[in-house]
C-alpha cells in the first residue's frame, strides 16, 4: 500500500456524551489517527453512539482494531468498543480494477504484460465461461492506488488490444454494497417501465460497462438499498380498461375505471394488501404474455382477446407471474447464494439453453433472498443439461441442488 493512503474505520458502542476531540485523544493512545467524525441523527444532531475514525495507513488502522476492538470499554458504555473497517473499505484497499472489452482469445500473460507497465500486479483473474471460453473481461489488483490510477488514466477508452476493434474499459471494480445497490436500482427501473422497456436483454444480458462509480478518497458513496415488494393484483377482470382497450360488456356489468397505471401494480415498493391475490394472467389485463419489449400503447379488443386465448392454451405465467416453459423444462434450485438476484441466477444458467425466466424468491418484509428459486427453459433438453452440470455445482460457497419443478396442474380441481 502506498504511503499516506487514508483508511476509514467504523466504531460502535461509543458513549453519546463523548466529543470528537475526546475520542481523537483516546484513539491516538493506540495508533496514529487523523480525524474522528461522530455519526449524528439528521433531525436532532445528537450522537447515534458510533463514529468514523480516519487513519493515515492500513498499518495504523490495524493497530487501532487490535488494541480496541472488544477490548476497551469507555466510561458510560455497557459494552466494549466495536472497531472494524467501514463498509467496502477492505475491498477498496485491494485496488481492484475491472477490465472490459478484452479480445475473446486474450491470454493471462498478455493482460499481465500490458498492465505490468503501470505497477505490480498482485492478482489477475480472467473471467471464463462454459468450456473455459473467455468472457472478454477480467479483474486485477495492483499493489498501490497510484498504480491502479495510472493504469486507468493510460488505458481506459484509449488502448485497443490486438484482435479487438474497441478500446479497453478500465475502471474501479464494484464493492458488494454497490452490486446490491445496482441490482435494486435495476429492479426499480424494470418495475416502472414494464409496458415499454426493452428489458429482456437488460435483465438477462451482459451488464453495461459504465456501471462502476468513481473513486472518492475514502470509499464509494452509494445510495441506500431498498428492496422491492410486489403489490398484489386485485381479483378483478377489468384489466382491459386499465390497458386502454374496450372492456367486455357482455356480462351486463358496467365498466369501472381504475385511475392507476399498470406500473402502480407491478413491482411497486409497497407491501401487499390483505384480501387480494397474487398476480395472474388477465385477458389483456395488467399482466399478460406480451414480451417486455413490446409496445406500451393500448391494446385493441382483438389483440386482447388473442392474448387471452394464448394465455389459456399456453402455460405462459405461473401464479407468481413467472414465465414457464413446457413440461420438463422448469427447474427448482436450492442453496442459491444469498447475494444472487434474478439476473445473476439467469446468467448462471443461460449457457445450457434459452432461459425464459429466472426468479429468486425474497422475503416480503425484508427483501432478503430466501436462497431458492426457479429457472425455466424453452426445452426439456436444456433443463436436463443444466441438471447434469449444475446439480452439486459449487456457486458462491454453496453447492446447488437442481431438480425438475413438479407440475401440480393435474392435481388442481380447476
pLDDT of residue 407: 62
Distance separating alpha carbons of residues 185 and 91, to the nearest angstrom = 22
pLDDT at 204: 41
Q: pTM of the full predicted structure? A: 0.41
Q: At what angle do helices 342-349 and 176-192 cross, to 10 degrees?
A: 100
Give pLDDT tens digits for 75-134.
999 999 999 999 888 888 888 999 999 998 899 999 999 999 999 999 999 998 777 778
**Contacting residues for 15 by C-beta, under 8 A, at least 6 apart:** 49, 74, 75, 76, 77
The b/e string for 198-207 (b: 16+ C-beta within 10 A; e otherwise) is: ebeebbbeeb
The pLDDT assigned to 247 comes to: 44
Closest residue by Cα to residue 183 from 293, 333, 345: 345
CA distance 314 to 210: 39
d(CA 380, CA 404): 10
Q: Is 335 left (phi over 0), alpha (psi -120 to 50) or beta?
A: left
Mean pLDDT of each 10-residue bin along the chain, 414 residues long: 76 96 96 96 94 94 95 94 91 89 91 95 88 86 92 94 90 84 79 52 42 42 41 43 43 43 40 41 38 43 39 37 84 88 88 91 84 92 91 81 74 43
- DSSP states of 263-288 as a string? GGTTT-SSPPPTT-------TTSSS-
Which residue has 386465448 as its cell numbers? 309
How close are the terminal C-alpha atoms of the chain, in Å? 66
* Cell numbers that stand for 325 in this block: 416453459
Neighbours of 170 (CB within 10 A): 24
pLDDT at position 340, please?
86
pLDDT at 71: 95
pLDDT score recorded for residue 111: 94
Q: Is 122 helix (H, G, I), strand (E, B) or coil?
A: strand
163: buried, middle or exposed (CB in 10 Å: 19+, 13-18, 0-12)?
A: exposed
Amino acid at each position: 500500500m502506498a504511503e499516506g493512503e487514508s483508511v476509514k474505520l467504523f466504531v460502535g458502542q461509543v458513549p453519546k456524551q463523548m466529543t470528537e476531540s475526546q475520542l481523537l485523544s483516546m484513539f491516538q493512545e493506540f495508533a496514529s489517527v487523523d480525524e474522528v467524525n461522530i455519526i449524528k441523527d439528521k433531525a436532532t444532531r445528537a450522537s447515534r453512539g458510533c463514529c468514523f475514525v480516519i487513519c493515515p495507513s492500513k498499518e495504523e488502522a490495524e493497530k487501532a482494531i487490535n488494541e480496541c476492538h472488544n477490548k476497551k470499554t469507555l466510561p458510560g458504555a455497557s459494552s466494549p468498543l466495536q472497531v472494524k473497517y467501514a463498509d467496502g473499505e477492505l475491498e477498496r484497499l485491494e485496488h481492484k480494477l475491472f477490465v472490459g472489452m478484452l479480445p475473446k482469445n486474450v491470454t493471462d500473460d498478455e493482460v499481465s504484460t500490458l498492465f505490468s507497465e503501470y505497477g505490480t500486479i498482485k492478482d489477475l483473474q480472467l473471467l471464463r465461461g462454459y468450456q473455459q471460453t473467455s468472457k472478454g473481461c477480467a479483474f486485477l489488483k495492483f499493489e498501490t492506488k497510484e498504480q491502479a490510477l495510472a493504469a486507468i488514466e493510460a488505458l481506459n477508452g484509449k488502448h485497443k488490444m490486438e484482435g479487438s476493434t474497441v478500446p479497453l474499459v478500465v475502471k474501479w471494480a464494484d464493492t458488494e454494497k454497490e452490486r446490491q445497490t445496482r441490482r435494486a436500482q435495476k429492479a426499480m427501473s424494470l418495475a416502472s417501465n414494464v409496458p415499454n422497456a426493452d428489458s429482456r436483454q437488460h435483465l438477462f444480458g451482459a451488464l453495461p460497462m459504465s456501471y462502476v462509480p468513481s473513486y472518492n478518497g475514502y470509499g464509494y458513496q452509494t445510495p441506500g438499498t431498498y428492496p422491492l415488494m410486489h403489490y398484489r393484483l386485485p381479483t378483478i377482470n377489468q384489466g382491459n380498461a386499465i390497458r386502454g382497450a374496450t372492456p367486455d360488456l357482455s356480462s351486463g356489468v358496467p365498466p369501472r375505471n381504475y385511475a392507476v397505471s399498470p406500473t402502480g401494480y407491478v413491482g411497486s415498493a409497497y407491501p401487499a394488501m390483505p384480501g387480494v391475490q397474487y398476480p395472474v394472467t388477465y385477458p389483456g389485463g395488467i399482466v399478460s404474455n406480451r414480451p417486455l419489449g413490446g409496445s406500451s400503447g393500448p391494446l385493441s379488443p382483438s389483440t386482447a382477446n388473442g392474448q387471452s386465448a394464448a394465455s389459456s392454451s399456453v402455460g405462459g405465467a405461473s401464479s407468481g407471474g413467472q414465465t414457464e416453459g413446457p413440461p420438463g423444462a422448469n427447474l427448482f434450485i436450492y442453496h442459491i447464494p444469498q447475494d444472487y438476484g434474478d439476473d445473476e441466477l439467469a446468467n448462471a444458467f443461460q449457457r445450457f439453453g434459452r432461459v425464459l425466466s429466472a426468479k429468486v424468491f425474497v422475503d416480503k418484509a425484508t427483501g432478503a433472498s430466501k436462497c431458492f428459486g426457479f429457472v425455466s427453459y424453452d426445452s426439456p433438453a436444456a433443463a436436463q443439461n443444466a441438471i447434469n452440470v449444475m446439480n452439486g455445482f459449487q456457486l458462491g460457497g454453496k453447492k446447488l441442488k437442481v431438480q425438475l419443478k413438479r407440475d401440480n396442474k393435474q392435481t388442481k380441481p380447476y
